Amino acid sequence: MPRPSQQLHPHREPALTREAATVLLLRDTEAGMEVLMTRRSPTASFAPGAYVFPGGRVDEDDAESRPIALRRRTQSRVQLTHAIAAVRECFEELGVLLAEHADGRPVSASELALMDRSTPADVPFAQQCAQRGLRLATDRVFAFAHWITDRDLPKRFDVLFLVARMPPGQMPQADETEQFEPCWVRPADALQRHADGGFDMIFPTIRTLQRLATYANVHAVLEACASERPLWSSCPRGGLLKGAEARFMEHEPPYGELALVCPDGQIAHPLDWQHEAPVPLLRNVQRLTAPNASVMTGPGTNSYIVGDRASGYIVIDPGPNDFDHVGRLWRATQGDVRAIVCTHSHADHSPGAVPLQALCESRPPILGLPSAPTARPTARFTPDRALDDGESLRLEGGMDEAGRRITHTLRVIHTPGHAANHLCLVLEEDGLLFSGDHILNGSTTVIDPPDGNMSDYLESLDRLDEACAAFDVESILPAHGYVLGFARTAIARLKAHRLQREARIAAAMRKKPGGTPQDWLEMAYSDTPRHLWPVAARSLEAHIERILIRASEPAPQPSRFDPE
């Protein structure tokens, strides 16, 4: 975790969340599956005027209504309570009641007309149902998604989004107080109307409809929810794109950067890629992106500046030999660079080191690992001093408010794989991993033999996972793309992706043993756009090399202690 003293924004405690539930009532039509939506009051304190699904807060009485609620054997008590709340809110807001008689008969329109929908009603909802011998059909209500309102908003909810089939013979009628204009709409049509500016919706509703639109019918939705677990859980974060608020879920590239820079949900961080000035990530960490955007480099190569005015700076990956980029690095550090570290020798990472060194009067040492003989001619690199695995680079600055010396310590980790001389760095005090090209945000790194080696790459991922555990690393700062959050999860997913790809390649090789790498590429990378196949072919070669080596190794001998 970054030190509070290094955060850019003062700590603010996000508002507490309130439990709530909402239900997506679904029906199948000839035009496709539709969902029931309704427009909130323009004077509502939360999402005024927006189209939503019926729902509201979970009340204490909802838990006490369990005796009249039908329950699946696998349905938890918490989910049942939320389902009861959603059924109640749906009845109060739209007059739709998911209930039945003890003999299975549906609720009739005449019975519904006699029930009191007002809030609060003279007779509580559960009591009205019990008096009529009704049982809530909560055994047919399933969890679809779990949303927690963004940290920046003053009113926050912890909401379970549920799905259910619309009961037959009922017609929605808005209460004309909280909800207006109930309408049936196909998810794709609702999204298009929103894009056209005529159907206002909030972020969770949009994302939920996007997922819902991938299902062909109600049965497919309910089948997907049979596990009793929400299909996803999210507490979005917001940033600025072109000056406007934009929100992102955990799996989207900007999320980890927003978590690092604005942990309490402040909408203050610009996410636009630019190359003119460094972007502050912490008080002691800045990112300057080189203007070398391409298919291979994404928005450009990230150069990182670690330190402060009192301590001086270490520059990580000065980037290509670009006159303007190097000059910006020099100006951002006021020329007080104590060391220049190159994570590896590739042409978009290390060539800027010598010109940056020449600009600084102190001629800071260029540090890293020398390129191996396997490196391509365009990737030759010789540092002033080779770094040792496990070595620490330390900057000492001024004093913090408690009178303690502020330090910035970078721990070196040798991580061959992408390149034989690749290394990563951990900023120990703030739990940050500078991953170079070993881990990227938005793409997987290329492993290009002979300098790249897939077995080394996977073993280095394990080393980085161990380092993240040892130094409590939550954020990964890659050489391309935004900051990654959930560091150990990201590493585990990356390794799993590589092994899954390798399994597909091995299967292609078995299926077509006389085939060529191009044949195997087309089979194993059929899920990858064709224009990326030339790049994928390089990693394919690394996987093939690993597969063949492993196949030639003798099988491990069973231990005498192994069971027969």
For 522-538, the pLDDT digits (tens) are: 999 999 999 999 999 99
Number of separate helices (H) and strands (E) present in the chain? 14, 24
Enumerate long-range contacts of 8-13, CB under 8 Å, 24 or more apart: 8/261, 8/262, 8/268, 8/280, 8/281, 8/282, 8/283, 9/261, 9/262, 9/264, 9/266, 9/268, 11/264, 12/264, 12/265, 12/266, 13/264
Residue 317 CA to chain centroid, in angstroms? 25
Examine the pLDDT at 336 and tell me if it is beyond 60. yes
To the nearest whole number, what is the mean pLDDT of the chain? Answer: 95
Examine the pLDDT at 34 and tell me if it is beyond 90. yes
Phi, psi of 535 (to 5 degrees): -75, -45
Residue 560 has a pLDDT of: 53
Are 246 and 271 in contact by the 8 Å Cβ rule? The answer is yes
Residue 557 has a pLDDT of: 64
Contacts of 164 (CB under 8 A, 6+ apart): 23, 24, 25, 26, 98, 137, 140, 141, 142
Are 348 and 319 in contact by the 8 Å Cβ rule? The answer is yes
What one-letter code names the amino acid at 68? I
Q: Does the predicted model carry a pTM greater than 0.85?
A: yes
Determine the average pLDDT of the residues in 40-45: 86
Helices 487-511 and 454-470: crossing angle, nearest 10°? Answer: 160
Determine the average pLDDT of the residues in 507-532: 95
Examine the pLDDT at 62 and tell me if it is beyond 50. yes
Confidence band for 398, pLDDT divided at 50, 70 and 90: confident
Q: How much of the chain, in percent, has pLDDT values that exceed 70?
A: 98
Q: Sign of the C-alpha dihedral, residues 326, 329, 335, 338?
A: negative
Determine the average pLDDT of the residues in 195-205: 95
Angle at 234 between CA 229 and CA 237, to 5 degrees: 180
Task: Give me the helices (H) in 346-486, please.
Answer: 353-359, 454-470
Examine the pLDDT at 43 and tell me if it is beyond 80. yes
Are 240 and 246 in contact by the 8 Å Cβ rule? The answer is yes
Confidence band for 1, pLDDT divided at 50, 70 and 90: confident
Phi, psi of 161 (to 5 degrees): -90, 120
For 358-391, the pLDDT digits (tens) are: 999 999 999 999 999 999 998 999 999 999 999 9
Residue 556 has a pLDDT of: 66
Examine the pLDDT at 248 and tell me if it is beyond 50. yes
Confidence band for 555, pLDDT divided at 50, 70 and 90: low
* Of 172, 191, 190, 192, nearest in space to 182 by CA: 172
Return left, alpha or beta for 333; rule: phi > 0 is left, psi -120 to 50 is alpha, else beta: alpha
